[in-house]
Chain A
């Protein structure tokens, strides 16, 4: 796997809800080098986030826990584009979640937390 040199020392940060200025550094951008392949991060309070990067380099983060099964697996799902919006499909029972809003595309009543992410 070859990485463009300019992205190797950039960090991916995630905004924890509530505290405005609290950005948590999660990993090197290089950990998301393969677009569409996510990683999981452990948050200080024990929750987990799933982070993704699409082929245009945009970053997304949502709760890692699949609300349908309870397992923390969303980071291992496949991503895609549906009507121009990015989504991840749970690897367990395949429900899709909008990566920007956390809204489940297959069940209106379900939504997961979506986090703000940035590269610093």
Chain B
């Protein structure tokens, strides 16, 4: 190691927000972290996270998942990160920063990235309990906490981008939500009057109350000092339990002011084109706290990133400049697409508007076009599909007349103008300034063959994500053009996706895997034995369709037996030492004392380890293969059925105790859970299916974490879909409200069959819902409004499934041929596997794991040992 002469020069970064983090990455990319000591003062209690995605917290993203900071990165680059320790003073003469903890750091270069703070209008009682702002994870946690402690109504001050985000969050928390906006329309900065009107209709259609053209005059509080309402400037008053101020932001430039740095008239540290402060060449300011050389303070992340790059390049003595950025944005606010780009408000001289508007559908699209046909900018509300292409075309004359760019497909528009029409110089990713040419080169020159590779290589798509769609299309086009086939196939044996195979099996009534492989498999796989991926996937397709295509439904019959994973094959779950677990179905989690006693007796007699599962039933572990039929004979006798814990099939429908006993319950959730579990038991699907029914909004059954969740209302049932626990939790989305019993069942029938038909292998409903084009709205169109005209068919498939359900274990214990496989050894049917042994723990058993690492035991000892457990 070489020791640099003298101490390394020090760069101090104040503020570890989105732009600050980006700056650190830019330093590292330029090798400056190796030559400099880098010290970061971070005010918030956690390192940089994705503020843009803040609202996704309410759809289940955890603070950890929002993090932008990789611990490895910080460590690897030797960055000294001080979390929860803001800078309090800067002494520019001494080049010294003092932090709150008393830490003092001398700097050679100081970079301010302190962001903004929310603006709270000076109305009386604005500090009352129940008043919040919306900027940090801590804000969001506080709002959630307060809302959950009994709030019913919430009001947001401000109807701009952030206001609508906040309103979406309150709505997500189940509050009746008001939005108060001083301007005459929503999102006054981004959209024009007509766009605002389209947005208003859609937002009101979602049940939010919007008050435009009126200001907040006073927060009203009760005797305890907490918010009870809000007085508006038009004289009206709203009763509300909670207020979120979201009326704009102000640059955080106090630290800069205090040390004598020049700031703009409306705030923001004044910097030059290199992002150096105009006052002191050793100090830089980037992101929302800076006033750029064009006199603007940018409140978006993409220009901030560009400033971060510029400052890092300048420190590395490279040429770079930030002279301004456009304010293009695409957002999904409350589920509505809103985008504006370029000269959205048509301020250029002599420009013309091309407008398409359909207020019924909440659509509004406007393009601003110059006299010579140059696309200057535009606004899209309700459908921003074309945003990526249009933004990239801005500044050029589009290859087709502008009106065709805004008409919806089917209304006279020609085929959609795809990204292939873009010139190579067009910027596809504006967060990272990546052109179409660079993306193409990533495929042709750098040999990237997948979208993730291209993202890594070019950084495109790794910012706000709004360009990923166009990016994906470009990459696929380029791959196809260069002769690389984009392989979406299920596995090495089939070039089709799971959905395509499903359609083939259904349409041609194919009931045999081998037949499917030999006729539709990849050339090289035909005639072979397939693989461990497609066998269970095809087995599952055939099993879900069995009654409709005339296949035998039992998973142990004929060829089916060879396709199933070992769990399905032995109708039990394989454990780490080769023993199995047994999970009988306990529908809805309801069980009589007699049945509990039976379970206890069986577990005792066979010496099984017994545990209550997370799915409201009882799991018995440690059965050897040859014991399974004996155990199940007794279970079947006592009226138990297979719980399909081993299958990609319906697992449990959890219930809460509901209106029968619970003082809050409004419907009989136990009965509904049992009905649903019995209806869908045995249904094979692309991945396991879980469900729950709660008797009221308190949600004790955790229905929103399930593939389908039902929550009782005074008027019936709300149906939520696409929830998930596990590794990537997701709260289920509301599909339909206030359903009767029959309506509920019909919708679930359709939903499940549509999922089974279109999902990928091992794709839970949550991932499926996120992936399929059109997402929840599309699924709602298909299963609620029957937009594809397939609902009759879906219902028929489910009817067939329900009518043909048979208990797999009851059939197995009564079929000697099926029972024959339940032996440890084909040549010694009475000998148990000598490696399956147990040792005691907490009055029960656990696998003898050390034995497994020894491997072989002399046979005599093994046989002796096997008589005792």
Contacts and interface: CB of A to CB of B under 8 A. Distances in A.
Contacts of A1: 557-558, 817
Contacts of B492: 82
A35 B531 contact: no
B574 interface: yes
Contacts of A76: 566, 569-570, 574
A1 B554 CA distance: 13
A24 B395 CA distance: 81
A81 B523 CA distance: 13
Interface string A63-78: 0010001111100111
A83 to B, nearest CB: 8
A74 B528 CA distance: 20
A16 B834 CA distance: 20
Interface string A38-65: 0111101111100100110000000001
B578 A78 contact: no
A42 B862 CA distance: 11
Interface string B814-827: 00010001001111
Contacts of A41: 825-828
B834 A46 contact: yes
Given A39-B826, A80-B535, A92 B576 contact: yes
Interface string B826-869: 11100101110000000000000101110111110010000000
Contacts of B563: 36, 78
Interface in B564-596: 565-567, 569-570, 574, 576-578
B525 A81 contact: yes
A40 B821 CA distance: 10
A78 B826 contact: no
Interface in B459-493: 492-493
B578 A72 contact: yes
Contacts of B578: 71-73
B724 to A, nearest CB: 22
Nearest to A25: B827
Contacts of B577: 70-71
Interface in B550-566: 557-559, 561-563, 565-566
A34 B558 contact: yes
B125 to A, nearest CB: 61
Among B557, B558, B827, find the residue whose CB has the most chain A CB atoms closer than 10 A. B827
Interface in A5-45: 26-27, 31, 34-37, 39-42, 44-45
Nearest to B558: A1
A94 B529 contact: no
B852 A71 contact: yes
Nearest to A12: B826
B819 to A, nearest CB: 13
By size class, the interface of chain B is 35 or more
Contact of B532 (A27, A44, A80): A80
- Determine the interface band of chain A, counting residues with CB < 8 A from chain B: 35 or more
B536 interface: yes
A65 B855 CA distance: 8
A86 B529 contact: yes
Contacts of B531: 78, 80-82, 89
B829 to A, nearest CB: 10
Nearest to B530: A80
B565 A78 contact: yes
Pick the most buried of A31, A44, A72, A91: most chain B CB atoms within 10 A of its CB.
A72
B856 A47 contact: yes
Contact of A78 (B525, B536, B557, B858): B536
A65 B833 CA distance: 11
Q: Among A34, A41, A44, A70, find the residue whose CB has the most chain B CB atoms closer than 10 A.
A: A70
Nearest to B570: A76
Contact of B835 (A54, A70, A82): A70
Contacts of A40: 824-826, 833
A96 B562 contact: no
Contacts of A51: 826
B565 A81 contact: no
Given A70-B853, A76-B570, A42 B828 contact: yes
Contacts of B835: 65, 70-72
B827 A26 contact: yes
B400 to A, nearest CB: 48
Contacts of B525: 81
14 contacts: A26-B826, A35-B529, A36-B535, A36-B562, A41-B828, A42-B827, A45-B859, A65-B856, A69-B852, A71-B576, A77-B566, A80-B532, A81-B525, A81-B530
Interface of A: 1, 26-27, 31, 34-37, 39-42, 44-48, 51, 54-55, 65, 69-73, 76-82, 84, 86, 89, 91-92, 94, 96
Given A1-B817, A71-B576, A91-B566, 11 more contacts: A40-B824, A42-B859, A45-B859, A70-B853, A72-B833, A73-B574, A78-B532, A80-B532, A81-B493, A84-B528, A89-B531
Interface of B: 492-493, 514, 524-525, 528-532, 535-536, 557-559, 561-563, 565-567, 569-570, 574, 576-578, 817, 821, 824-828, 831, 833-835, 849, 851-853, 855-859, 862
